[in-house]
Amino acid sequence: MKKITLFIPLFVFFASCVSTKSTLKNVDDTAPNLELTKENTFVITQFSTDKKYGFDKDYPINIFFKSTKEDTINQQSFLNALAGPKGEKITYTKLESCCPFPTKRSDMGAGFLDVYELKWEGQKKPIVLYLNIYEKGILRVPFGLSLKK
């Protein structure tokens, strides 16, 4: 009986953390599969003009590639392709995982966004990007950034 008593509050807690409706606005399951360069960075050919893309948790950068089990590789392949506004070398740090949402690409039925802080020399304030390894979307360079040469 004690196990059931403990299980019910835990179930309610975890069930309340994930909405049954996703708030993500830019998921596109018809997006082409991502390609890698020889340097193991994603091939990115488009630049976002939307200032929310990647900077807002409802408009994350969707980098699903083959499997969610390769989450760190997926994120590195994206972030290592980027540079600062004038081509500066960036450094990045994962801050946290947040913002649960429903997804079919997870055994749990829920995914989390990963929050990264990006810095480069001469920058006044670090920027924060939201990355989503569970869903597909058109991959773009976030507004104000450039591609590594």
pLDDT at residue 7, rounded to an integer: 47
CA distances from 18 to 57, 89, 110, 114, 148 (A): 15, 36, 7, 16, 36
Torsion of CA 60, 61, 65, 68, to 10 degrees: -30
pLDDT at residue 106, rounded to an integer: 83
Q: Are 112 and 100 in contact (CB under 8 A)?
A: yes
Backbone angles phi, psi at 61, to 5 degrees: -85, 110
Which sequence spans correspond to the domains of the chain? 26-147
Mean pLDDT by 10 residues, the chain (149 residues): 50 48 84 88 94 96 75 87 96 96 86 96 96 93 95
pLDDT at residue 11, rounded to an integer: 45
Torsion of CA 93, 17, 26, 47, to 10 degrees: -10
Q: Are 135 and 105 in contact (CB under 8 A)?
A: yes
pLDDT at residue 112, rounded to an integer: 92
pLDDT at residue 105, rounded to an integer: 82
For the chain, first and last CA: distance in Å? 62
